[in-house]
Structure 1
Amino acid sequence: MTDIEQFEIEFDNWAGKPPRNREVKIPARDKFISVIGLGSIPPTKVFAADAIVKESNRLDRLPEPGELTLTEQAVRAGVIRRADRALEKDLRGGIEQKIAAIKGLFARINVITKQLEQTKQISLVGPNGEQLSQDEAQDAHDTLRDQIVEETAGGSQEHLSRRRRGKMKEIVSALLDYPVFLLAMIGLLNVNLRLLVTFDLPTVIMFGTAVVFALLGTFLFAFLMRTMGHRHRRFKNADSAVAAPDAVSRRLRGEQIATIAITVAAALVMVMRIYLDGIEADAPIVLTIVLAVLFGGLIGLTGYINYMSEYEDGSDKTDRVRHLSAQLSKAESVVHTLTKQRALFIEEAGIKLADLARTIEHAEERTKRTVLTSSTDKAIAVARSYYGSRTPVPEPTFAGTTLALIKEQARQLAAHHDILIESGKEK
């Protein structure tokens, strides 16, 4: 026994501590049983456990919690290296791919953010073709809207609009005259409907011509009526009557006269066509006149309906509001779509970040379990029990830079994700 060991025994006696046994060894019987696989020490670690026990006899003190002796560190080094290599393989495999996928999502979010900023700077086209910023367009829209609401509340009928109809209903209303025009063209071109049934070629050609010209006449008549109604509603007053300035009153009056003349002419053509066909067919004169007036009146009535459907559909101010609303709605729709897409990508990035954190934690825990459940750690724990230490074997630490780097990357990605969430709330 050395002088230092003798001094430690005397100090322990003075402090009232039981003297420490420095002659601890693993019984030969336990070694033999362990070598054949029946003992508490793993068969391949018997000599390692014996070395740890012998080292304890030389130590000044037993290892504290979280400490390993030099021999324990040497014994554990091999399994630590293997576990560290396995961890590096996991980190450089699926975990790095997850990080790359998250960075890709962040890149797409950055692109969408730039697109949002650019979209908000795009100029809009005003009612007169002028360039307006979105704020200017919104101000102009709100000003016109307030004027319309105020004037309508004051009893003005200038801005009253009919309920908007779909495209199909507009086409159907424009085709109301078609049967009448077709009947007139069939009579004008002397198409024999009996020969049409026999597919007589000249008759088929004449019938096709009547169909085409009737269609053109119908759309042209409807287009003319609607165009005139749209032009004239610019000059409506609060009583929904036409009140044009002196500079354009003559032109406007001339357009109204021309519109009435065309409607009357179309009606008279139909009246004469029905009347002549009735006389030629020796039909009763009263019936002929009634039918002629009826069909002529239908032509005039449909023309009037097409004209008034445009004339009573708001005013010049409502047209401007509709134009600005369409422009603003389109811009708002683009912003809404991009914002929604950005929010979805942020949500997806959050899910992938949570998956990344779980993967890193599971990989680290799996690596620690690999060491803690290894035969090496079992041998260290058994060796400590032989020399009377109840201190548990500490968890392993891994000195590899890859794990620290990946943890730092995950932390930075999570922080950036939080910034994106906050910026989304501000918008």
Structure 2
Amino acid sequence: MHDIRLIRDDPASFDAALARRGLPAQGEALVALDERRRQTIAASQEAQTRRNDLSKQIGQAKAQKDEARAQALMVEVAELKVRLPELEQEERSIGAELDAALAAIPNRPATNVPEGSDEDGNQLIAEHGAKPVFAFAGVREHDAIGPALGMDFETGIAIAGARFTLLRGPVARLNRALGQFMLDRLVNEHGYEEVAPPVLVREEALFGTGQLPKFAEDLFRTTDDRWLIPTAEVSLTNIVREKVLSEGELPLRFAALTPCFRSEAGAAGRDTRGLIRQHQFDKVEMVSIVAPEASDDEHERMTRAAESALEALGLPYRRMLLCTGDMGFSAARTYDLEVWLPGQNRYREISSCSTCTDFQARRMNARYRPEGGKPQFVHTLNGSGLAVGRTLVAVIENYQQEDGSVAVPAVLQPYLGGLTVLSPR
């Protein structure tokens, strides 16, 4: 959410930020709408003041036995009683129009975000890890290896439809181990507080993090007007909704392992095979709530936490700085971590870590009080640490063996009772 006062002070700067996102200028239109609202407020206040003044004059006129003047003043008061509700309704209507317009505009990109219209404009920051060299020919994708390990696409589709998968036996155990491993690392090594949040939320929560109203078609909605979370970012960030924190409470760092649900409305024909793009998937999410001056450092810290999980698993990856045209709605700057998938012979996104500055905080009215100062909006950050299903894909493809088995990374073996290899059934 944007501060109309800042737009009013410098609409040209606001439009320049929108232009970097490939959006048309809106500053002047927003300022004009705000001016109409302010004029209506002023007219309403003036009418209220006039009515109060007239009430006093009526009393004076009656005390002076001036019935004619009292009647004339009472006629004007009656007119104001009709006019005041009209002005109040007009103010509410213009205010709602302004709020809706502001709510539909994405966050301003940070100054160091490269410009671009799509993923081709993203900037490579670093690569880490050597891509595996296999001693056999015919390196396969996960959907060819997985069925013999318990990855049952057909039954998943029979139960729930397209983009659902049933995991059984060894691969189900590996999937569970990955989620536990990631969550344990964040809690024990990176200082995140473990949270078990609701996966059904109210509309206000999704508005606060920016998924609503613009991206409703990407979500699943229940018959009682609750929504299934597309990411635990929604539940975790809204922990501070409508709160004023003390400066000493910051930073707050939350982590959760939850199922996530996405309709994939805009993904027709994309990644229809395998686990890459599912309606339901598990993800470990990180959320940080910090003071504004700490958000840049926290962004680096959060991204390193996700990177360290990939490094512990021995998975090659690269860090990308997303361009203005590829960032999410609420993000001011985003790092994507892309893991190497040898079966596909390409990198695929496995984590996004974003700083949202005060954009979400304004939508949630989440603030903190600096020592001796007035309440200010916090900065919020979120990141995947990591997407469990895509990590499962990466482990299967990077650790595949010629006989169809998959070696278990050393850090996961304690979670699997010492198991070192997943063997085909």
TM over 0.5: no
Name the TM-score class by shorter chain.
Answer: under 0.3
Compute the TM-score of the two structures, normalised by the length of structure 1.
0.23
User: Counting helix residues as a fraction of each chain, which structure ranks higher?
Assistant: 1
Give the structure with higher Rg (CA).
1
Compute the TM-score of the two structures, normalised by the length of structure 2.
0.23
User: Counting strand residues as a fraction of each chain, which structure ranks higher?
Assistant: 2
